[in-house]
Amino acid sequence: NLLFKNNGNGTFSDVSAAAGIDDVRDSERVVWVDYNNDGAPDLYTVNIYQENRLYKNNGDGTFDDVTFAAGLGAAGLGRHGTWADYDIDGDMDLYLVNIGGN
């Protein structure tokens, strides 16, 4: 999985390692969401053979893996995920489609 920063001149630079998300996983989907309502887009990867990951955007070009701190460590092996405020409380909620009955 790679994150490419738009340089603003028609080119892109790989900033994955510097951003802290140079993740070697078999990902099916990626979803940008502001899960903590801080105004910065956070990153959620849906992985097929490893646990899914939630990366909190620190607002300085870096991300922290907050999967377990957010209570998503046992979310299963994913195929697809989507975020919505299904209960209309102002917080983004997560729905996952998993494989293998997880």
Predicted pLDDT of residue 27: 87
For residue 73, name the pLDDT band (cuts at 50, 70, 90). confident
Asked whether residue 52 is domain-assigned, the answer is: yes
Q: 28 or 13: which carries more pLDDT confidence?
A: 13
The residue-averaged pLDDT of 85-99 equals 92
**Count of structural domains within the chain:** 1
CA atoms of 64 and 81, how far apart (whole Å): 20
Residue 57 in any domain: the answer is yes
Within-domain flag for 16: no
Query: Strands, DSSP E only, in the chain?
Result: 4-6, 12-14, 27-33, 42-47, 53-57, 63-65, 78-84, 93-98
Task: Decide if 51 is inside a domain.
Answer: yes
Residue-wise pLDDT for 50-66, tens only, equals 888 999 999 999 999 99
Quote the percentage of the chain above a pLDDT of 70: 96
What pLDDT, on a 0 to 100 scale, did the predictor assign at position 16? 95
pTM above 0.95, yes or no: no
DSSP 19: H
Which residue range(s) make up the domain with 71? 25-98
The answer to whether residue 94 is domain-embedded is yes
Note whether residue 78 is domain-resident.
Answer: yes
17: in domain: no
Residue 41 has a pLDDT of 97
Asked whether residue 91 is assigned to any structural domain, the reply reads: yes
